[in-house]
Structure 1
């Protein structure tokens, strides 16, 4: 199962209707927890996500609304005696803050937390890479990429008399009885998930979003306050939607809204001015499935 659960959608300050940041991505056997803000442990409980589901903790940067939930989550991992390692990815410049969060109070540490600070663009784990963003503190976005594969063509398989166990045989061998695998299959691009939080428009945003099946991106401001957004290192809904259009994104998830806005439909209207793909304006505890694989990757 590949599905995003939104734990919170506020930005610097939570509101009566929006919890601090937090995003959990189920990706087959992996569970990625992105930017857990204050109280994320409780939001996970409400969403039915146990601590044992987390395999990787990914922080874009060390501002409080993106990391103050770390102490509770890590202590819950120890309390529940989660048996597998949990890999923690974060900017190396924030290592001191991460250590303070990890040991914010006294507890019996039973979890196996493996720290992976990163300082440059590139791969940080199998299928997972980071790219630098532009914010007042060092920040990185994340991109999860599934390797490209193939899809079998039933009509071609039948035409060549390849059925049952022989399908697996041709997949393993590359050819069977003079029939090449390429004649009975077609390329299938791997799925791509991108996660972009606090940033101005920069090269990293476009690199992360390129042909993503799902882009989760901050849209802290509406475009009428674009100058304010740029001054504080944030995007507007129109900017985020423009990135999605130019990068061939299939599903755009807008989130991280300033407390000054109370009408979510304003973000829909603004994004729709430039983007006509699948659009989600995130709400707390919303579940958003990663769209099914396609036969070919969307044009950028």
Structure 2
């Protein structure tokens, strides 16, 4: 069975706390692992969470503030120490290419891993693979920042009752899926006759930003949305000044975009009680709301 889940490695913002590490989010999507914004200490958080760098295939950095990228040196070196055999693609704002190079080679080590840099300079697809399309969109922060969105292609779901009607079973099912049609019941049966459209799943990751069109575009129809909620409503002016969202703003985006499961994270150390985030978000979002905690494993909702 395929695994689609988010593992929270850190959920703090500018400063870590006793219970929250700097950012770090590993999306396990079938056989792929996408690591988002590895902040300081991510390598150790992965160890404590029981996940290996061998499970990382793509590294996605939204921007180059320390709480989103200071874990890169340890992660990059660990790829080589553990002898990760597959290529790892690294996506980051193109304007920070020199910063990424400094992080990548922060100290002396024997590099053997195949790390492939993909600077992101504008909106659009940055990767196409078995999982579908990985997109990036420019956010509105104090420095260049991008959000990411994974879009699985639409497909079709086989209907057992319709397969049985035409006597299609066993290896013939696989043949039908591969070829698109098969002879059965004295005639050629098309895949469309025994299946229903199945919408591909969507995942969105949005960190430091003010409200902007890109936030809504990334979140649109997401099955799982991971989004920063640095501030509470009473500090909305601070949020706007520093390029962040409040919990209620993030939840409003989720409600308007039809998000199925909302994960709020990137909490400021100034608010020790995260129940307040949940309360303010629940005022505008009635769906599945999760307040991120370090080491939480959050499944991507099953298809309807």
Q: TM-score range with shorter-chain normalisation? A: over 0.9
Aligned to 2:97: 95
Equivalent positions of 1:14-53 (< 5 A) are 14-53=16-55
Of the candidates 275, 279, 284, which is equivalent to residue 274 of structure 1? 284
Aligned to 1:259: 269
Aligned to 1:297: none
RMSD of aligned C-alpha atoms?
A: 0.9
Of the candidates 123, 128, 134, which is equivalent to residue 128 of structure 1? 134
| TM superposition shift of 1:163 | 2.0
**TM-score, scaled to structure 2:** 0.95
| Partner SS for 2:110 | coil
Aligned to 1:64: 66
Aligned to 2:194: 184
CA distance in 1, matches of 2:80, 2:284: 46
CA distance in 2, matches of 1:132, 1:2: 26
1:140 and 2:142 correspond: no
1:158 and 2:160 correspond: no
Deviation readout 1:90-109 (Å, 9 max, x if unpaired): 00001011000001111111
| TM superposition shift of 1:180 | 2.5
Aligned to 2:14: 12
| TM superposition shift of 1:224 | 1.2
| Partner SS for 2:250 | helix
Aligned length: 294
Equivalent positions of 1:203-214 (< 5 A) are 203-214=213-224
Aligned to 1:167: 173
CA distance in 1, matches of 2:174, 2:78: 43
CA distance in 2, matches of 1:143, 1:174: 29
Task: Between 39-48 and 175-184, report the one with greater CA deviation.
Answer: 175-184
| Partner SS for 2:164 | helix
CA distance in 2, matches of 1:189, 1:31: 22
Question: Unpaired runs of 5+ in structure 1?
Answer: 295-300
Of the candidates 80, 83, 93, which is equivalent to residue 82 of structure 2? 80
**TM-score, scaled to structure 1:** 0.96
| TM superposition shift of 1:237 | 0.5
Deviation readout 1:140-183 (Å, 9 max, x if unpaired): 00001111110001111112222222222322332332333212
CA distance in 2, matches of 1:283, 1:203: 28
CA distance in 2, matches of 1:181, 1:29: 26
Aligned to 2:243: 233
CA distance in 2, matches of 1:17, 1:178: 61
| TM superposition shift of 1:110 | 1.3
| Partner SS for 1:178 | strand
CA distance in 2, matches of 1:10, 1:166: 51
CA distance in 2, matches of 1:158, 1:106: 63
Question: Unpaired runs of 5+ in structure 2?
Answer: none
